[in-house]
């Protein structure tokens, strides 16, 4: 299977689970993912240090969940954001997003080919989507191209555990047994949630993704693991 076929297969899988995606996320994370997303928004706003932001683009936006947090956290901090845009290759996900988020515009597109002008965006985010991008280095280069100088990229992602500590058996039990079973029950699509732990196992460690960001022209500003290292927040700035 070539990279295009693999990418198309992943997009089709997300089309199939779009309607139950939000519910599955809340159940599987016990609602904790909401706090992770808020932390990413807060840290990016803090490091960017602006009270007026022209554009925030959420890539692999799915149902637009993170855009809601970008808006709400901006309101709390008195930050004026002119333009919110959600980008995703899954038409099914965007159909749900358009019903849920009325303040943003949504565009069908890939992380590797962003429908954004050069140096047009202050913040680009991608939550739990970068591991699903087959040509990841192309995507990171695209983020760099579309960001204004000094702009921020925010990545929330499940990361592979490099060192196995005392909690490793618990993490493995959750990721390999509980998550696919519960996710399959909620979505009625067991294969999609079997893919998730497999995709994490094949993904990068925190150190490796940090290195790829630096190679793409970013300076790492903040890295924070959550919940025994299951999820990691990366905030990096365009050099």
Compute the distance between CA of residue 215 and CA of residue 217 in angstroms, rounded to an integer: 5
Over residues 166-172, mean pLDDT: 68
Q: Is 88 annotated as a binding residue?
A: yes
- Check residue 213 and give its pLDDT: 98
Tens of pLDDT, residue by residue over 102-147, are 999 999 999 999 999 999 999 999 998 898 888 999 999 999 999 9
Q: What are the angstrom distances between the C-alpha of 150 and each of 10, 147, 212?
A: 32, 8, 18
Compute the distance between CA of residue 58 and CA of residue 93 in angstroms, rounded to an integer: 13
The domain spans of the chain are 3-238
**Can you name the residues that pair with 108 across neighbouring β-strands?**
88
Tens of pLDDT, residue by residue over 84-114, are 999 999 999 899 999 999 999 999 999 999 9
DSSP state, 18? G
Please name the residue ranges forming H helices in 101-163: 136-146
Q: Is 118 annotated as a binding residue?
A: no
Nearest in space to 89 (alpha carbons), one of 119, 56, 113, 65: 113
Counted residue by residue, the chain has a size of 239
CATH dotted code for 3-238: 3.40.50.150
Q: Is 127 annotated as a binding residue?
A: yes
Compute the distance between CA of residue 132 and CA of residue 218 in angstroms, rounded to an integer: 21
> 0.75 exceeded by the pTM?
yes
């Amino acid at each position: 299977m070539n990279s295009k076929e693999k990418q198309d297969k992943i997009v089709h899988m997300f089309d199939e689970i779009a309607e139950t995606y939000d519910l599955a996320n809340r159940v599987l994370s016990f609602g904790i993912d909401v706090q992770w997303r808020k932390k990413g928004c807060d840290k990016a706003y803090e490091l960017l240090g602006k009270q007026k932001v022209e554009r925030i683009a959420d890539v692999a936006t799915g149902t637009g969940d993170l855009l809601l947090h970008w808006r709400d956290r901006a309101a709390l901090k008195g930050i004026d954001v002119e333009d919110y845009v959600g980008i995703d290759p899954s038409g099914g996900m965007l159909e749900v997003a358009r019903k849920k988020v009325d303040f943003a515009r949504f565009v069908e597109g890939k992380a590797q080919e962003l429908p954004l002008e050069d140096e047009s965006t202050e913040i680009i985010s991608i939550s739990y989507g970068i591991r699903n991008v087959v040509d990841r280095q192309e995507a990171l280069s695209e983020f760099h191209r579309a960001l204004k100088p000094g702009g921020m990229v925010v990545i929330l992602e499940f990361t592979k555990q490099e060192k196995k500590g005392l909690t490793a058996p618990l993490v493995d039990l959750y990721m390999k047994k509980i998550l696919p079973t519960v996710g399959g029950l909620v979505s009625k699509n067991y294969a999609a949630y079997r893919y998730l732990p497999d995709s994490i196992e094949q993904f990068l460690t925190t150190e490796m993704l940090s290195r790829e960001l630096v190679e793409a022209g970013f300076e790492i500003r903040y890295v924070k693991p959550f919940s025994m290292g299951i999820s990691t927040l990366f905030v990096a700035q365009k050099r």
